Structure 1
Amino acid sequence: MSAAPIVIHRLSPTGGRRVTIRGQIAGLAYEDQDVLEFLRRAGLPDGVELLDRPEWVEWRGGRAHSYVAA
């Protein structure tokens, strides 16, 4: 299990990435703005710079900030 409270999972076969916050599914993100909205709804800081802080966010299975298959 990740120590980071936010996990952005690998790309889904249909596009987008599942986002979990504290182990709960927040939704499917198709861009950073979607992740930021999930964070806002969860009452967490939502600055885009947060997405590059490993103590907050773990990116799994692909490049960070990439939401479509290469």
Structure 2
Amino acid sequence: MLKTLKGRANHEDKRKLEAIRRTYTSRIDELDQIGPAQSSEGKELPARPESLELYSGPTSRSTDDEFEDYDNG
């Protein structure tokens, strides 16, 4: 019985992930048709950081308090 339940969960998870993938893929295609991302000055934006941990500049909006609030729900 546990195998059956686990199999159903895996199938449903795969179905949900596939729907998410289709949504994001179509959105990316739409954005590609619009053109490359450019700032108001006509310059291309810099590459996005590989990890949020690598960037801790003044415009970062997340704080430790925000994460604590999220964890405490």
> TM-score interval w.r.t. the shorter chain?
under 0.3
Q: Which has the higher strand share?
A: 1
Larger Rg: 2
Q: Which has the higher helix share?
A: 2
